Amino acid sequence: MTDSGQNRTGANEPLVRFENVQKTYDGEILVVKDLNLDIEQGEFLTLLGPSGSGKTTTLMMLAGFESTTHGDIILDGRSLRTVPPHKRDIGMVFQNYALFPHMTVYENLAFPLQCHNVPKSGQDRKIAAALAMVELTGFERRRPGQLSGGQQQRVALARALVFEPRIVLMDEPLGALDKKLREQMQIEMKHIHENVGLTFVYVTHDQSEALTMSNRIAVFDDGVIQQLDGPEELYERPKNAFVAQFIGENNRVNGTVRDISGDRCLVELPNGQTVKALPVNVGAAGEATTLSLRPEAIVLEPADGDGCDDTYPAIVREQIYMGDHTRVRVEACGQDDFVIKMPRGSGARSFELGQDIAIGWRSGDCRALDAA
C-alpha cells in the first residue's frame, strides 16, 4: 500500500478539528456538549467512556452518519457539514463487522475499491497488500461464515484500510471476541497502526483496551471530555474524581480540606484522621474533596525505607489470590472496602483474616480531587 500517512495538512494544523460541536436528538438534552477536539495526523486516539457519554455519537458525526446540531467538523481544512459519508475518505470498522455474508473475502475488500472507482487492474494489488497487513493472505476465497470471529474482525479492518483512507474509525470492534483473543487483537491493531501510519479513531468503554492501544485518550462523561491525555498521564495523574475512578481501580475517600501549604494539602477524614495529599483539583480550606489512591501504591506493613509519609491502622478483611498479585481488602480510614494490590514475589506476605496491620503510602501518590 502507498504511504497514505503523509501529512497533507498544514504544518501546525490538526487533521480533524471539532469546533463547538453539539448534538441533541430531541431538541432538549445535549448528548454532546460544546465539543472542541483536535485529532492529529497519524495518531491513535481513543474515545473512552461509559454508555451514553457521547463517545459513539462523536464518532458517528465524524463518519457522517449523524449530523451536528451546532458547530462544525473540519477535515484537512475542509468543513464536513455538506459532505456525505462516502465522500469523506474515511474507513469504518463496526462492532458487528458488517461483512457481506454472500461475498468472499476478496469480494468484500473489492467492494469499497469499486465504490472509489479504483480500476480493476489495481484492485488485486491493493487487496493482497491489505490481507498481508492483517495476516490473512490465502483467505481470499473464503466467506465470512467460514472464518472465526478474530478472522472476521481482521477482514473488516482490511476492508477499512484497502482504499487507503485519511482516517480509520472503529466502533468497539473487539466487543464480540473472547478475552484472550481480544487482548491479542489489541496488540495486533496497535502494530498495524504503527506500520501503516494512518489516523485511527477508536471508541470503547473498556479502559484496559484504551490504555493498551492509544497514543491519546479522550475520556467522555455526560457529553463532555473530562480529560484528554496519554495513557500514562491519565492513569498516574487523573485530573478529576470521575477519571480517577473510570481509569483503573481506585480507592476513593471523601474528606474536607483543612490546609493547603506548598505542594501538599491536609485532608480530614470523617473518622477524624488526617491525610497529606497532592492538591490536584481542590477548593479552599473547609471545602469537600475526594482522595484518590491506587491499590498498587499502598504498602502493607511499611518499613523505614518504603518512603511512606504516614501510616494508618487497618484490619484485614479478605485476601484473593490473582496470580501475579494478591488482592487484599482491609478496613481502614473509616472504610471497609480499602483495596491493596500486593505483587507476587519474595516479599509477598500472607495475613490472617481479622489481623491488625499497618498500611501507608507516599503523599504524592494520594491525589486530592473534586468532591465526587
- DSSP letter for each residue of 264-301: EEEEE-TTS-EEEEEESS--STTSEEEEEE-GGG-EES
Strands 299-300 and 356-361: antiparallel
358 contact partners, CB below 8 Å, separation of at least 6 = 300, 301, 302, 311, 312, 313, 314
Q: Give the Cβ contact number of residue 20 at 10 Å.
A: 12
* Whole-number pLDDT of residue 5: 39
38-47 core/surface letters (b: 16 or more CB in 10 A; e: else): ebebbbbbbb
Sorted by where each starts, the structural domains of the chain and their CATH numbers stand as 16-239 (3.40.50.300), 249-369 (2.40.50.100)
DSSP 8-state class, residue 108: H
- DSSP per residue, 167-221: EEEEESTTTTS-HHHHHHHHHHHHHHHHHH--EEEEEES-HHHHHHH-SEEEEEE
Distance of CA 17 to the CA centre of its chain: 20
C-alpha 329/C-alpha 325 separation (Å) is 13
C-alpha 58/C-alpha 16 separation (Å) is 12
Helix, strand, coil distribution of the chain in percent, nearest 5: 25, 35, 40
C-alpha 222/C-alpha 239 separation (Å) is 16
3 state SS of 131: helix
Among 13, 96, 24, smallest CA distance to 67 is for: 24
Amino acid at site 157: L
Q: Which residues pair with 327 in a beta bridge?
A: 320, 341
C-alpha 6/C-alpha 16 separation (Å) is 15
Backbone φ, ψ for residue 283 (5° rounding): -90, -150
Strands 274-279 and 367-369: parallel
Strand ranges across the sheet with 16-24: 30-39, 16-24, 70-75, 78-79
How do the pLDDT tens digits run along the chain, 372 residues long? 434 333 444 557 899 999 999 999 999 999 999 999 999 999 999 999 999 999 999 999 999 999 999 999 999 999 999 999 989 999 999 887 789 999 999 999 999 999 888 888 889 999 999 999 888 999 999 999 999 988 998 899 999 999 989 999 999 988 878 888 888 889 988 999 998 889 999 999 999 999 999 999 999 999 999 999 999 999 999 999 999 999 989 999 999 999 999 899 999 999 999 999 999 999 899 999 999 999 999 999 988 878 898 899 999 999 998 888 899 999 999 999 999 998 887 566 788 999 999 999 999 999 999 986
* Whole-number pLDDT of residue 346: 53
